[in-house]
Amino acid sequence: MILVFGKSGQVAREIARLQPAALCLGRTEADLTDPQACAALIRQHAPRAVINAAAYTAVDRAEEEESLAHLVNGSAPGAMASVCAEIGIPMVQISTEYVFDGSGTAPFSPDHPLAPLNAYGRSKLAGENAVRAAGGCHAILRTSWVFSAHGSNFVKTMLRLGATRDSLNVVADQIGGPTPASAIAHACLRIADGLIASPSGSGTYHFSGAPATSWADFARAIMAAAGLNCRIEDIATAQYPTPARRPLNSRLDCSGLAVFGLEQPDWRDALPTVIHDIKEAP
- Measured CA to CA, the distance from residue 170 to residue 243 in angstroms comes to 17
Residue 170, SS3? Answer: strand
- Measured CA to CA, the distance from residue 231 to residue 84 in angstroms comes to 49
What sign for the dihedral angle of Cα 154, 159, 162, 164? Answer: negative
**Residue 120 appears among annotated catalytic residues:** yes
Candidates 253, 6, 173, 207; CA nearest to 95 is: 207
CB distance 260 to 194 below 8 Å:
yes
Q: What is the DSSP string of 209-263?
A: -BS-EEHHHHHHHHHHHHT--PEEEEE-GGGS--SS---SB--B--GGGGGGT--
Burial 131-163, CB ≥16 within 10 A → b, else e: bbebebbbbbbbbbbbbbbbbebbbbebbeebe
Rounded to 5°, the CA angle 89-94-100 comes to 130
* Active-site choice (56, 98, 120, 205): 120
Query: How far is residue 258 from each of residues 114, 198, 251, measured CA to CA in Å?
Result: 23, 14, 18
- Measured CA to CA, the distance from residue 236 to residue 148 in angstroms comes to 26
Catalytic residues: 120
